[in-house]
Chain A
């Protein structure tokens, strides 16, 4: 009998392997590239917020900072999509997936972006996030809430397992100059 619970393993190099992922979790992971590609203006405003109050400063920010951030976000989507190729059934109706150590920053950030995107697109309120899946009457909102919690659980496992951000991140233009 297999260990039928979701867990995370590290090897000596810091590479991660998620094991025991239920099918709903695998389904949510497979949707990540699409979730992260959202062109909803409200999502875009949340992920690329108005950082300055002054109109001229805002224009400068959009001109000089936003293109680099957009490029970084797009690179992360590519990394996530590439790693998702490793998502596979383990023969026990559960799934497993490998994340290279150098992709940890991309994954932690992308999981956060996906959770924010789901929250904004579903029109959830701050109080909704405190609820459990099944508590919301609206089906689409309830599914979004469930996915937000699932991705949070994965994020928590990575953070609590010591998988902080990596200085030797693969990210082009990196977050860690």
Chain B
């Protein structure tokens, strides 16, 4: 779930070329390490259930904040309600903070947590 995808599909400079020599392979390995350090680890935005906030209000907030279609917003709202929490968005930390601030402004119980690959 979430919109974050690694950017490795865009930057293929670290991919070993066919027929590379040993020296160039080492060089490529160094390049690969540098490329990886540039890829920011993802952060999750988690919305937690509360007994007061109306379900259709939560759906509207998800549609408004993330521009999700109603079907996706309802699915996430239902997960919050049934499971007690839902990862509603995953991606770069700076954007996560912006989204989290918006969710809190609508009074949704929100946390930001490091995702897989974060420190």
Contact B105 A51 (CB under 8 A): no
Describe A's contact surface by its main secondary structure.
helix
A73 nearest CB neighbor, chain B only? B105
Contact B112 A52 (CB under 8 A): yes
Chain A residues in 8 Å Cβ range of B56: 156, 159-160
In the complex with contacts A51-B100, A126-B51, A108-B105 CB distance below 8 A: no
In the complex with contacts A51-B111, A52-B111, A165-B64, A116-B50 CB distance below 8 A: yes
Interface assignment of B57: CB less than 8 Å from any CB of chain A: yes
Interface assignment of A175: CB less than 8 Å from any CB of chain B: yes
CB distance from B89 to the nearest CB of A (A): 14
**1/0 contact string of A95-109 vs chain B (CB within 8 Å):** 000000000000011
Chain A residues in 8 Å Cβ range of B39: none
In Å, the complex CA distance between A108 and B61 comes to: 10
In the complex with contacts A69-B105, A175-B105, A129-B57 CB distance below 8 A: no
Chain B residues in 8 Å Cβ range of A68: 101
**Total contacting residues, chain B, CB less than 8 A:** 25
**1/0 contact string of A74-89 vs chain B (CB within 8 Å):** 0000000000000000
B63 nearest CB neighbor, chain A only? A164
**1/0 contact string of B91-119 vs chain A (CB within 8 Å):** 00000010011101111011111000000
Chain A residues in 8 Å Cβ range of B113: 52-53
Chain A residues in 8 Å Cβ range of B13: none
Interface assignment of B52: CB less than 8 Å from any CB of chain A: yes
Of B54, B100, B110, B111, chain A has the most CB atoms within 10 Å of the CB of B54
Interface assignment of A19: CB less than 8 Å from any CB of chain B: no
19 A-B residue pairs with Cβ-Cβ distance under 8 Å, sorted by A, are: A49-B104, A49-B110, A51-B104, A51-B110, A52-B111, A68-B101, A108-B57, A112-B53, A112-B106, A115-B52, A116-B53, A125-B51, A126-B51, A129-B52, A164-B60, A175-B64, A175-B102, A175-B105, A175-B106
